[in-house]
């Protein structure tokens, strides 16, 4: 006879489930599970560490607190909300996982996540990679000077820092100034083309907040407050997060969770791309792709779509991509939008140290992409970008992975050489190259 999926020895008096139900609104509906298995069928983490969402919930209900505290699956679930999205009873398993993570001793949590959290706490700019505000300012000014010297067309390009009274305050993911600074240039060019009055700030400029993935509320809040203070200090009227899912959600959800008033509207830049195109402030053209006929698909970031802004954001994303590459050259994954599968880059998985499990998680996403026969995957999220790029290499998918800002800047005829085209294939190396 086969071994039971869950073995219980002795009587159990679990406290974890009751505690979580007391914390979550309506108890997270944790006691309404029908054991139908829809969560299991739709979860890319199913099977990792011999675990799945339904099994995790049943173990909690059965009082298996000790076993729950030992399974690394808590760090393999990306809390992408797809299980809850398909659940007929709206059982909030992602928040069960969050509370489980919060109860792990800090010294046993993944070092990569904790390290990024601590760097954000330590630095004035809230940078998860630990770059100081002084170094950030130096990199921005250095890159800008190089553009002025090597691209005469953009001798007036600006990237303001600490500009008081600017309309927009922009966060910046730390990856660019540290590892690929030229990747920031297309974003600056887009903002200039749209006639945007904007600024970075040395206080709270970093977009990331890995303390959310560490499930440390006090630290999540501390970084968020630092970011809010950066916006308020400069007297900006609007706060915009660049292309990144987790950093957007950490602010969007954090403001609600901790009842913080930022004093300004907070939004994702993709929605502004769409708005500027509709208003005629940006005029992308897909003519460059008429003969090439390159096929594009998009990854819907769980954090910005399913977990927060929903299908209206996904529609804006597609509107912008189609304007850039041509509607006939766009092909959607299936399923998509709020029903799309997580790629496995979120939830801190990239920093968790479980690489083999993360790549196994990404097999579903790989198959989704391959089915589209796309040459390029547009990913308006840093973690999605890193994961999907690695999936292409690991599974020999053959696609290129690009940020939306790259394709938008290219379609505007503004994309510069080399560093601004790092993620493009050879067929796009010189297309509409600015002089």
Q: How far is CA 366 from CA 304, 377, 403, in A?
A: 20, 11, 18
pLDDT band at 8; cut points 50, 70, 90:
low
- Please give the average per-residue pLDDT across 199-203, as a whole number: 98
Rg (CA), the chain: 22
Interval 340-389: pLDDT, tens: 999 999 999 999 999 999 999 999 999 999 999 999 999 999 999 999 99
Provide the CB-side half-sphere exposure for 115 (13 A, CA): 9
User: Model's pTM, two decimal places?
Assistant: 0.95
Q: Is the confidence at residue 63, as pLDDT, over 50?
A: yes
Q: Which helix (H) or strand (E) holds 102?
A: helix 93-102
Question: 29: buried, middle or exposed (CB in 10 Å: 19+, 13-18, 0-12)?
Answer: middle
**b (16+ CB within 10 A) / e for 192-221:** bbbebebbbbbbbbbbbbbbbbbbbeebbb
Q: Tokens for 362?
A: 């990404």
Q: Is the confidence at residue 260, as pLDDT, over 50?
A: yes
| Least-confidence region, from 15-19, 74-78, 101-105, 201-205 | 15-19
Strand partners, 240: 170, 267
pLDDT band at 12; cut points 50, 70, 90:
low
Q: Is the confidence at residue 329, as pLDDT, over 70?
A: yes
- Please give the average per-residue pLDDT across 172-192, as a whole number: 97
d(C-alpha 342, C-alpha 348), whole Å: 13
Per-residue model confidence (pLDDT) at position 1: 35
3 state SS of 266: strand
Per-residue model confidence (pLDDT) at position 7: 59
Which is nearest to 45 in space by CA: 383, 388, 360?
A: 360
Q: Which helix (H) or strand (E) holds 221?
A: helix 217-234
Q: For the beta carbon of residue 373, count every other beta carbon within 10 angstroms.
A: 11
Q: What is the mean pLDDT of the chain?
A: 95
- Please give the average per-residue pLDDT across 72-80, as a whole number: 98
Nearby residues of 113 by Cβ (< 8 Å), 6 or more positions away: 75, 210, 213, 214, 348, 351, 352
């Amino acid at each position: 006879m086969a071994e039971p999926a869950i073995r219980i020895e002795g009587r159990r008096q679990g406290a974890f489930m009751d505690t979580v139900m007391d914390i979550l609104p309506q108890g997270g509906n944790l006691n309404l599970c029908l054991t139908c298995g829809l969560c299991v069928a739709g979860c890319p983490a199913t099977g990792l560490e011999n675990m799945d969402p339904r099994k995790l919930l049943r173990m909690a209900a059965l009082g298996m607190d000790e076993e729950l505290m030992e399974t690394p699956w808590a760090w393999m679930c990306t809390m992408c909300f797809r299980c809850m999205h398909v659940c007929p009873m709206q059982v909030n398993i992602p928040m069960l996982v969050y509370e489980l993570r919060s109860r792990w001793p800090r010294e046993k949590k993944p070092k990569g996540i904790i390290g990024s959290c601590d760097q954000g706490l330590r630095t004035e700019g809230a940078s998860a990679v630990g770059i100081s505000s002084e170094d950030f300012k130096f990199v921005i000014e250095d890159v800008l000077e190089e553009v002025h010297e090597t691209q005469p067309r953009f001798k007036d390009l600006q990237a303001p820092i600490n500009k008081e009274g600017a309309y927009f305050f922009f966060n910046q993911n730390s990856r660019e100034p540290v590892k690929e600074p030229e990747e920031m240039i297309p974003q600056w060019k887009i903002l200039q083309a749209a006639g945007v009055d904007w600024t970075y700030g040395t206080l709270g400029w970093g977009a990331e907040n890995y303390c959310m993935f560490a499930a440390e509320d006090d630290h999540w809040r501390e970084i968020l407050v630092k970011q809010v203070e950066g916006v308020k200090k400069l007297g900006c009227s609007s706060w915009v997060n660049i292309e990144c899912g987790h950093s957007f959600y950490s602010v969007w959800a954090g403001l609600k969770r901790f009842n913080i008033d930022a004093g300004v509207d907070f939004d994702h830049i993709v929605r502004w791309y769409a708005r500027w195109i509709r208003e005629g402030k940006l005029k992308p053209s897909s003519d460059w792709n008429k003969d090439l006929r390159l096929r594009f698909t998009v990854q819907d970031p769980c954090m910005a779509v399913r977990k927060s802004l929903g299908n209206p954001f996904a529609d804006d994303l597609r509107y912008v991509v189609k304007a850039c590459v041509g509607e006939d050259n766009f092909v959607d994954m299936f399923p998509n939008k709020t029903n799309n599968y997580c790629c496995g880059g979120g939830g801190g998985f990239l920093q968790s140290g479980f690489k083999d499990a993360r790549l196994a998680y990404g097999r579903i996403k790989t198959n989704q992409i391959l089915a589209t026969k796309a040459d390029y995957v547009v990913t308006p999220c840093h973690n999605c970008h890193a994961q999907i790029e690695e999936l292409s290499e690991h599974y020999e998918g053959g696609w290129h992975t690009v940020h939306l800002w790259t394709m938008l800047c290219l379609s505007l005829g503004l994309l510069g050489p080399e560093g601004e085209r790092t993620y493009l294939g050879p067929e796009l190396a010189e297309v509409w190259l600015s002089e």
